[in-house]
Amino acid sequence: MELTGAEIVCESLLKEGVDVIFGLPGGAVLPFYGALGKYPQLRHVLVRHEQGAAMAADGYARVTGKVGVCAATSGPGATNLVTGIATAQMDSVPIVAITGQVPRPAIGRDAFQETDVTGITLPITKHNYLVMEVEDIAPAIKEAFHIARTGRPGPVLVDIPKDVLQDLRAEFIWPELPNLPGYNPPGDADPEQVTRAAELINQAERPLILAGHGVLISHTYDRLIELAEKAQIPVITTLLGISSMPTGHSLNLGMPGMHGMAYNNLAIDEADLLIALGMRFDDRITGRLKDFAPNAKVVHVEVDASEVDKNVKADAPVVGDLKRVLDQLLPLVEPNVHIDWQRHLDDLKSQHPSLHIRDSEELLPQYVLNSLSEVTRGDCIVVTGVGQHQMWAAQHCKFNSPNTLITSGGLGAMGFEVPAALGAKMGRPDKPVWSVAGDGGFQMTMCDLATAVENNIDVKFAILNNGTLGMVHQWQDLFYDKDYFATVYSGNPDFVKLAAAYGITGLRVTKQEEVADAIQQAMETPGPVIVDFVVRESENVYPMIPAGGSIQEMMEDEPEVSVAPPSGGG
């Protein structure tokens, strides 16, 4: 039996185990939407903006380990996916985006809603396809999912012209294997590389493990703990590596870098070995490269060979699948203790506590997030946008199980928190999900509150409302002579009334003693809830290393004098 191209797309998605698609229809993709009605197994979630579709697919993928799927039409529909696709690319998240394209005869003629989306997304996808023949749809989707989920995961886009979806038919033939002769993601590492890494680990006196997102992607948390405990090596987690090890584990030191714990940055400065697992030494970790970890040799385990030696030179580069590499490495690592090093780290933590929440008559955002962890007992998924609230969540929230902090790391996309939380809740309906936002980022994608209401997605939305673009405001405060141009909001909506407009519960919190009760009330209220935490406007995030700086420029609290403008990026 021959099927239309649109029906072949649906059949292919079922073969890949897809159960939910986040999308928004338009002219060029309407044939696919017409076919979707015949496939009730494919639940479609209608977002209010295509950016939300990509970010919801991203959140779904991160919490489930499956490939997230989003769909959009041609032209502006496809370009609206771009920020979400770029987020997935930077953070190595497997999603497949399906877009409609203008009919084949119109391609290249500047037709209505025509955009070269494969050209636009070439730098921000792992791979993409323009499928010009109906017989090629099933193989393209088979390959897209395989590429998205294997090796270093990432987004893949499949662009299909309207006439290929609507007017052409073919027999549905599902390939047994993808036809990708040049695509061979690494598995086991070179034994010599592994042996060299083990030698450095066994010889080290002041070792540290830097655990990145790759630990979570490869489901290697148990092996990370086994390695740390076997050789008694403290673990520092990158922003995206948070939740790869329970916060309360005695060897887990937390986050380093620009807004990481001061004692972690000092520890990296003094370490004689860094064991980097599935992380890429981005600038928010390293600061000024020439001053980063000056005393340390480096073991770098990575599935993506292009990341090795890109930023930090490795003394033992180990290229392979992290789970399989650790299976090779663990038998070679000798049981060990590093008592003097542990005592020194304890002293650093005592001398540089970093996370003290000071007394204040005003409601502080740090207090809100610390309370969120206390009320939930660290047993929830926290989804953040980007900015001060993101850093405070990373510093003050506790995470007891893997993949429970979901955030836009590499791209730093404001607005990520609302749609990604919807995707996370749909992927893990058994887990409480909190979207933590600033008032600025929340307003970028708050249109998808309607998506939450329409689908009864039980996400709780915590807004840390300081009336500013907090992180940019902080930079202006510290580096630009307190010139707060374009960072103070005077027209914010009443978020409690906004909740009422959507027919959901809204709560406002202005005092410290109200915080825990509001969090508890939100959790006990069925369906979406907005909690508007009105926090101190001028609170800054510390510790802080200015962009392009090093540990020598680290500020552990408010500086007494003005600081020179940063030389690095934003």
Q: Is the pLDDT of residue 569 over 60?
A: no
Strand 169-171 to 2-4 pairing: antiparallel
Q: Do 429 and 507 fall into the same domain?
A: yes
Closest CA to 134 of 5, 13, 35: 5
Residue 360, in any domain of the structure: no
CA–CA separation, 42 and 37 (whole Å): 9
pTM of this prediction? 0.96
Q: Do 334 and 387 fall into the same domain?
A: no
Q: Is the pLDDT of residue 561 over 90?
A: no
CA–CA separation, 302 and 319 (whole Å): 5
Residue 336, in any domain of the structure: yes
Q: Are 122 and 86 in contact (CB under 8 A)?
A: no
CA–CA separation, 117 and 115 (whole Å): 5
Q: What is the mean pLDDT of residues 407-436?
A: 98
Q: Do 407 and 337 fall into the same domain?
A: no
Domain that holds residue 231: 191-351
CA–CA separation, 46 and 450 (whole Å): 9
Q: Do 225 and 330 fall into the same domain?
A: yes
Q: Are 186 and 328 in contact (CB under 8 A)?
A: no
- DSSP conformation letters of 216-241: HHTT-HHHHHHHHHHHT--EEE-TTT
CA–CA separation, 125 and 99 (whole Å): 14
Hunting for tokens 């001061």 — which residue is that? 262
Q: Do 161 and 258 fall into the same domain?
A: no
Predicted local confidence at residue 563, as pLDDT: 66
Residue 237, in any domain of the structure: yes
Tokens of 81: 């996916």
Q: Do 323 and 398 fall into the same domain?
A: no
Q: How far is CA 383 from CA 112, 386, 463, in A?
A: 37, 10, 12
pLDDT cut 90: percent of the chain above it: 95
CA–CA separation, 366 and 264 (whole Å): 19
Helix axes 365-376, 388-396, angle to 10 degrees: 40
Q: Is the pLDDT of residue 404 over 80?
A: yes
CA–CA separation, 493 and 439 (whole Å): 10
Q: 138 pLDDT band (50/70/90 cuts)?
A: very high
Tokens of 375: 């009320």
Total domains in the fold of the chain: 3
- Give the CATH number, domain containing residue 493: 3.40.50.970
Domain C-terminal end among 324, 351, 378: 351
pLDDT averaged over the chain? Answer: 96
CA–CA separation, 228 and 241 (whole Å): 15
Region of 446 on the Ramachandran plot (φ > 0 left; ψ -120 to 50 alpha; else beta):
alpha
Q: Is the pLDDT of residue 560 over 70?
A: no
Q: What is the mean pLDDT of residues 540-566?
A: 85
Q: What is the mean pLDDT of residues 316-329?
A: 98
CA–CA separation, 415 and 468 (whole Å): 15
Q: Do 333 and 462 fall into the same domain?
A: no
Predicted local confidence at residue 511, as pLDDT: 96
Predicted local confidence at residue 513, as pLDDT: 96
Q: Is the pLDDT of residue 565 over 80?
A: no
Q: 192 pLDDT band (50/70/90 cuts)?
A: very high
CA 317 to chain CA centroid, nearest Å = 25
Q: 186 pLDDT band (50/70/90 cuts)?
A: very high
The three-point CA angle 204-205-210 to 5° equals 65
Q: What is the mean pLDDT of residues 350-370?
A: 92
Predicted local confidence at residue 153, as pLDDT: 98
Q: How many residues does the chain have?
A: 570
Closest CA to 144 of 161, 162, 129, 134: 129
Give the active site residues. 50, 112-113, 162, 471
| Enclosing H/E stretch for 28 | none
Q: What is the mean pLDDT of residues 496-508?
A: 98
Q: Is the pLDDT of residue 91 over 90?
A: yes
Q: Are 372 and 429 in contact (CB under 8 A)?
A: no
Q: What is the mean pLDDT of residues 162-187?
A: 96
Residue 358, in any domain of the structure: no
Closest CA to 452 of 383, 365, 379, 377: 383
- Per-residue pLDDT tens digits for 9-64: 999 999 999 999 999 999 999 999 999 999 999 999 999 999 999 999 999 999 99
Q: Is the pLDDT of residue 559 over 90?
A: no
Q: Do 217 and 265 fall into the same domain?
A: yes
Give, as one character, the DSSP assignment of residue 523: H
SS (H, E, C) 456-509: CCCEEEEEEECCECHHHHHHHHHHCCCCCCCCECCCCCCHHHHHHHCCCEEEEE
Residue 239, in any domain of the structure: yes
Residue 16, in any domain of the structure: yes
- Per-residue pLDDT tens digits for 439-492: 999 999 999 999 999 999 999 999 999 999 999 999 999 999 999 999 999 999
Q: Do 454 and 523 fall into the same domain?
A: yes
Closest CA to 370 of 393, 391, 354: 393
Domain C-terminal end among 351, 377, 410: 351
Closest CA to 101 of 140, 59, 47, 65: 140
Q: 355 pLDDT band (50/70/90 cuts)?
A: confident
Predicted local confidence at residue 354, as pLDDT: 87
Tokens of 409: 């790391």
Sign of the four-CA dihedral 525, 526, 530, 533: positive
Q: Are 321 and 218 in contact (CB under 8 A)?
A: yes
Q: Do 486 and 398 fall into the same domain?
A: yes
Q: What is the mean pLDDT of residues 376-381?
A: 95
Q: Do 337 and 448 fall into the same domain?
A: no
Residue 298, in any domain of the structure: yes
- Give the CATH number, domain containing residue 258: 3.40.50.1220
Q: Do 375 and 497 fall into the same domain?
A: yes
- Per-residue pLDDT tens digits for 268-284: 999 999 999 999 999 99
Identify the residue with better confidence: 560 or 100: 100
Residue 391, in any domain of the structure: yes
CA–CA separation, 478 and 389 (whole Å): 18
In 378-458, the DSSP E strands lie at 381-384, 405-407, 433-438
